[in-house]
Amino acid sequence: MNILELPRKILIAEDDPNDLELVRLALGLDLTSRMDVVHDGEQTLHYLLGQPGQAPTQPLPRLLLLDLKLPKINGIQVLHAIRNHPRTRQLVVVVMTSSQEDQDLNACYGLGVNSYVVKPLEAQQFAAVAQQVGLYWMTLNRPPLAV
């Protein structure tokens, strides 16, 4: 598989409309057209793993931006589920969260998260961080090839 065949989608699991809008603006039009959004942990798992008893209908994204404080199923539970499933075990996952709790940080790295980013409180700084994360993981990083 060459670089042109790599998945180009970003999946954003975010329930805060303000944070979601900042990420969209920060990533710009080049990436927004290749962005899917889910608003809770259950939707995230359905997108990645399919509905119970059914195969997934979406190809895997290149990157999952995962908030920890999601409704229904929290981000740590989502991370646990996808790291324990053969389809998503190597999916690049970046946690973007407001949590500065050591317990959350350690839990995410223990489950194999690729990066843990604390969302800045100030909108302009938040947008800059989101842009850097998107650019790095979508253009510079070479993800594992699908097996």
Whether residue 33 is predicted with pLDDT greater than 90 in this model: the reply is: no
DSSP characters over 50-68 = -STTS--SSPPPSEEEE-S
Residue ranges per structural domain of the chain: 8-139
**Residue 27 and residue 127 in contact, taking contact as beta carbons nearer than 8 Å:** no
User: What's the mean pLDDT in 100-126?
Assistant: 94
What the block records as the tokens of 99 is: 């949590």
The model's pTM? 0.89
Q: Which CATH superfamily hosts domain 8-139?
A: Response regulator (3.40.50.2300)
Q: What's the mean per-residue pLDDT of the chain?
A: 88
Identify residue 73 by its one-letter amino acid code: I
Please provide the size of the chain in residues.
147
Q: How many Cβ atoms sit within 10 Å of the Cβ of residue 42?
A: 15
In tens, the pLDDT along 64-105 reads: 999 999 999 999 999 999 999 999 999 999 999 998 999 999
pLDDT at position 15, please? 95
Whether residue 121 is predicted with pLDDT greater than 80 in this model: the reply is: yes
Pick the range with the lowest mean pLDDT from 4-8, 18-22, 64-68, 135-139.
4-8
Residue 68 to residues 2, 33, 58: CA-CA distances in angstroms? 32, 24, 22
pLDDT at position 29, please? 52
pLDDT at position 127, please? 87
pLDDT > 90 fraction of the chain, expressed in percent and rounded: 57
pLDDT at position 32, please? 55
Whether residue 49 is predicted with pLDDT greater than 70 in this model: the reply is: yes
